[in-house]
Structure 1
Amino acid sequence: MTWVSLFSGGKDSAWALYRAQQEGLDVGRLLTVHPTGDSYMYHTPATHLAGLAAESIGIPLVEVEPDSFGAHDVVDAGAQGDAELEPLEAELRRLAEEPGFDLTGVTAGAVESEYQTSRIEGLCDRLGIDLFAPLWQRDPGTLAEEMLDAGFEITIVQVAAAGLDESWLGRTLDADALAELRRLNEEYGVHVLGEGGEFETFVVDGPHMARRIELELATEWEGTRGHVVVEDARLE
């Protein structure tokens, strides 16, 4: 009975993996989808670092790099989400056919996105597998506190929301940052976990990792949003 963890290297997917391991689920693969541009379904920044994370975690990584998700002519958001799911489903079907690989289910880090979760649930129904989504419908502030209490070291790699300026790029999501995010939630509606794309993260260390990932970063700021540029990344 083998599980696949849908994994971007960000805090939510890493937390879903960690909680699955705590529950005793046999996670045999990490699976990262590398979007070629903006995506409705997937975390996009810094996914090229997933390989380093997988090496530290000690679980083999499967990477999916579709050219355009088959969605280049799609203008409807729902249809695009369906199209973006196709390469993920194809890869899971391939894994399920591997000799000795008994695909039982997938883990996912969705918190409040019905758009994403409903599609992953549909995928699981079609494949006849289970879904483990330990963040789903949980209080965002409580989840963030649990991540920090567990020892997750979380780096902010992209921001795109009122109240989040260039100083947030490369910042560690710690107790002080969480307190500021709660204030920004009250003032601007910024989601405390960035579920609406307000910010994106990468986990550089945690209890599920054997070695910390050291990052050397620059930043690119575009007036109202920005992202980090990874100049170097290595396992300590």
Structure 2
Amino acid sequence: MKLSDNKQSDHWVSLFSGGKDSSWALYRALGDDRDVTHLLTVHPSEDSYMYHVPETGLAQLAAESAGIELIEIDPDDFDASSAVNASTQGDRELEPLENALAELDETLTGGITGVTAGAVESEFQTSRIRGMCDRLDIELFAPLWQRDPMTLGKNMIAAGFEIIIVQVAARGLDSSWLGRTLDTKTLSELATLNDRYGVHVLGEGGEFETFVTDGPHLSRPIEIEYTTTWKGTHGYIDVTNATLGSK
């Protein structure tokens, strides 16, 4: 698969879930004067190996607040049912994303310059995204990659990100963590849980998932109402209403 040659315009696509990591990658890209013209959100199945799963439907509000066009990929676009292992499933989950980027490239003057990604330590995800970018002959901007997790968390908070925890699935994280704000106190507690149970400070191993309700890249905050569901060892929030507020 080959993308358009002779690229002249700068078109960046941000792989975006609305979570803290993809939002930070977007924020950093904008701060580096990369022209992010599109956000691309994948709505995967619940057993996805490649993508952030919970509450990706809120990405539409985040895109509206950021003033950037959103492209969405629905679960029906995936066919990983016959995958024999995680590696094969990861490869198949990447196919609709790669196809969507190729199709978008055809519509943009000069084609796509590159994509942003919020991976911190996951070689499983990053190697596949890097390989996709190589095949499409586009750049990869991954500003969180291999950075110190605690420093990243503190930087997000200092920049004005308002982050809530929307899903947890790890020892040491009970139902009280659902809907909790990721602030400096929370980071400190996560560092303690890292020492005790190995919980990743930024949830990179799937220990928890987040959503960014406000930040410097957003013109209006996202206000949500929700209930919580707890299933013994893991849980998540169910958003019942979400709107854009005012600053």
| TM-score when normalising by structure 2 | 0.94
1:202 correspondence with 2:211: yes
- Match 1:39 to one of 17, 25, 48: 48
> 2:233 corresponds to which residue?
224
> 2:38 corresponds to which residue?
29
Deviations 1:40-95 (A, max 9, x none): 10000000000000000110000011426221011211111000000000000000
| 1:38 partner SS | coil
Aligned partners of 2:77 and 2:96 also within 8 Å: no
Aligned partners of 1:169 and 1:228 also within 8 Å: yes
- One-letter amino acid of the counterpart of residue 46, structure 2: G
> RMSD of the alignment, in Å?
0.8
- One-letter amino acid of the counterpart of residue 52, structure 1: L
Change (3 A) 1:101 1:45: farther
> 2:145 corresponds to which residue?
136
1:55 correspondence with 2:64: yes
Deviations 1:145-195 (A, max 9, x none): 000000000010000000000000000001111110000000000000000
Change (3 A) 1:90 1:140: same
> 1:111 corresponds to which residue?
120
Aligned partners of 1:64 and 1:87 also within 8 Å: yes
1:151 correspondence with 2:128: no
- Match 2:19 to one of 10, 29, 53: 10
Cα distance between partner residues in 2 of 1:104 and 1:66: 26
Cα distance between partner residues in 2 of 1:167 and 1:155: 12
Cα distance between partner residues in 1 of 2:131 and 2:111: 19
1:122 correspondence with 2:131: yes
Aligned partners of 1:95 and 1:101 also within 8 Å: no
Cα distance between partner residues in 2 of 1:212 and 1:110: 24
| TM-score when normalising by structure 1 | 0.98
Q: How does 1:65-84 map to 2 (within 5 A)?
A: 65-67=74-76, 69-84=78-93
| 1:97 partner SS | helix
CA deviation after TM superposition for structure 1 residue 217, in Å: 1.3
CA deviation after TM superposition for structure 1 residue 11, in Å: 0.2
Moved more, 170-179 or 93-102: 93-102
| 1:67 partner SS | helix
Cα distance between partner residues in 2 of 1:33 and 1:130: 20
Aligned partners of 1:66 and 1:87 also within 8 Å: no
Cα distance between partner residues in 2 of 1:68 and 1:167: 35
Aligned pair count? 236
